[in-house]
């Protein structure tokens, strides 16, 4: 397939010259393809048109559409399928968005807002990814901001010889924990002293602030700690030292939906390549980071982006904002190129606005 151009002026001139009848036939072809995933024949289109147009006349128009690069034939005797260029033209010029159903609005409101009770922002956004996956029958994707919350308590818990758990309790009630290595034979009193030392300095501060404060104290020997306890404290703050407050967390749910579609089962190799894309989280984060710079819903179709050039997938995403109208993340849906654009675009847009109101 030809690569897609996002700029109308870069498209083949034949597209601009399409008359109303050609656009109507092309729109019917794409609508049918999005519903069935199968090649569409001239007889099928002829039957669906309100006017009496013979299959032969439809075939002539389809030949022109093929010359314009909008459709192609997968087999000599088969019907036609839209190219990626055709799908882009359809989305940009012909697509009529559905109104989001009242039931779906209510489900989004209930799922996202209902997940707010006593849960962290990341947990809320994880539920949002699950919700988008369930509603779209594709994979839900959310880029969550790395929240630099303020701390309430830090505690060390023994996990056995040479291992301990560092537990961070944040002001919002959320808890994070990570395992660290400690000297074998470390007495329980050393863990207790390390907990008391850090808790006395962490309350109301961010983790980054605690790291700077404690590192300065340990460096200047201004401490009331034994060497063993100091080593525990250093290990406890070092385990988070690689965290960057500007990082984003990528949440993907519902990948299994991508192999349930009958059409995609015929090309498992493409699905495998898409899964490889989902595993390469840094590249996907870079793509979603570009989506953060745009306004409203962004749509990437197949080879428009190199990440999806092999898997033949589409990505529909929208940014969500905080109370200061600053974009803090992106959410959306990944699915096959024959995704239901008319239904999913308003779904993603509405969910982004609900999430923005909630996290504000």
Q: Are strands 175-181 and 151-160 parallel, antiparallel or unpaired?
A: unpaired
Question: Where residue 7 falls among pLDDT bands split at 50, 70, 90?
Answer: very low
What DSSP character marks residue 258?
A: G
The answer, yes or no, to whether residue 324 has pLDDT greater than 70, is: yes
Q: Which helix (H) or strand (E) holds 130?
A: helix 121-136
Residue 142 to residue 123: CA distance in whole angstroms: 11
The answer, yes or no, to whether residue 245 has pLDDT greater than 50, is: no
Position 286 scores a pLDDT of 80
Average pLDDT, the chain: 82
Residue 304 to residue 20: CA distance in whole angstroms: 27
Residues 6 or more apart in contact with residue 29 via CB below 8 angstroms: 40, 45, 62, 65, 71, 80, 82
Residues 6 or more apart in contact with residue 312 via CB below 8 angstroms: 267, 270, 302, 336, 337
Span 129-134, mean pLDDT? 94
pTM of this structure: 0.69
Angle at 35 between CA 33 and CA 38, to 5 degrees: 40
Position 104 scores a pLDDT of 93
Report the first-to-last Cα separation within the chain, whole angstroms.
43
Q: Scan for tokens 């999806």, then name that residue.
A: 308
Least confident of 14-23, 64-73, 313-322: 14-23
């Amino acid at each position: 397939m030809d690569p897609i151009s996002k700029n109308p002026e870069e498209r083949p001139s034949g597209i601009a010259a399409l008359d109303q009848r050609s656009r109507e036939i092309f729109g019917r072809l794409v609508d049918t393809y999005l519903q069935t995933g199968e090649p569409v024949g001239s007889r099928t289109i002829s039957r669906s048109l309100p006017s009496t147009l013979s299959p032969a006349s439809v075939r002539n128009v389809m030949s022109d559409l093929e010359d314009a690069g909008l459709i192609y034939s997968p087999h000599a005797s088969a019907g036609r399928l839209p190219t990626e260029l055709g799908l882009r033209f359809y989305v940009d010029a012909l697509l009529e968005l559905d109104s989001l159903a009242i039931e779906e609005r209510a489900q989004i409101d209930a799922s996202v807002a209902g997940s707010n009770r006593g849960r962290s922002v990341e947990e809320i956004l994880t539920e949002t990814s699950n919700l988008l996956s369930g509603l779209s029958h594709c994979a839900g994707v959310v880029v969550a901001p790395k929240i630099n919350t303020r701390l309430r308590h830090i505690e060390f818990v023994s996990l056995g010889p040479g291992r301990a758990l560092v537990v961070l309790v944040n002001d919002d009630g959320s808890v994070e924990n990570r395992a660290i290595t400690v000297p074998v034979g470390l007495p329980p009193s050393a863990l207790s002293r390390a907990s008391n030392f850090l808790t006395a300095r962490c309350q109301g501060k961010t983790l980054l602030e605690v790291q700077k404060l404690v590192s300065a104290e340990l460096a200047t020997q201004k401490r009331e700690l034994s060497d063993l306890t100091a080593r525990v404290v250093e290990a406890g703050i070092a385990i988070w030292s690689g965290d960057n407050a500007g990082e984003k967390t990528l949440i993907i749910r519902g990948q299994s939906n991508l192999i349930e579609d009958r059409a995609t089962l015929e090309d498992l190799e493409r699905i495998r390549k898409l899964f490889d894309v989902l595993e390469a989280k840094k590249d996907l984060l870079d793509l979603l980071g570009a989506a953060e710079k745009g306004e409203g819903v962004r749509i990437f179709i197949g080879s428009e982006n190199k990440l999806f050039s092999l898997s033949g997938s589409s990505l529909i995403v929208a940014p969500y904002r905080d109370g200061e109208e600053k974009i803090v993340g992106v959410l959306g849906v990944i699915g096959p190129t024959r995704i239901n654009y008319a239904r999913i675009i308003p779904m993603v847009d509405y969910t982004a606005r609900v999430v923005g109101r909630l996290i504000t």
